Amino acid sequence: MLGQGVQATAEIDAFERGVRPVLRIVLPEKAEAVLRFRAAPELQARIEELAGKSTEGQLTQAERAEYAG
């Protein structure tokens, strides 16, 4: 699970670096609120669980639909 947390942090950092400049142009008054947004811990844990299963090719059809959202 530690590896997934590290990966999630790297993904968040990459997302923020890529999206922050766009948000400053499009939504300057909302940019920080959007970047500070974090999913509820239960939802984040489920996303990480599904991501792991997806990487391993072990998603059921129902899980694949849930993950696709």
Q: What is the pLDDT of residues 18-27, one digit of tens each?
A: 887 877 777 6
CA 49 to chain centroid: 12
Percent of the chain whose predicted confidence (pLDDT) is above 90: 36
Indicate the average pLDDT of the chain. Answer: 81
Find the domain containing 48 and state its range. Answer: 39-69
Pair (32, 53) in one structural domain: no
Pair (3, 30) in one structural domain: yes
Percent of the chain whose predicted confidence (pLDDT) is above 70: 83
Contact 14, 31 (CB under 8 A): no
Give the pLDDT of residue 5. 55
Pair (45, 68) in one structural domain: yes
Give the pLDDT of residue 65. 94
Angle 39-23-14 (CA atoms, 0-180°, nearest 5)? 60
Q: CA-CA distance, 37 to 7, in Å (whole number)? A: 18
Give the pLDDT of residue 2. 43
Pair (23, 55) in one structural domain: no
Q: CA-CA distance, 22 to 1, in Å (whole number)? A: 32
Pair (20, 3) in one structural domain: yes
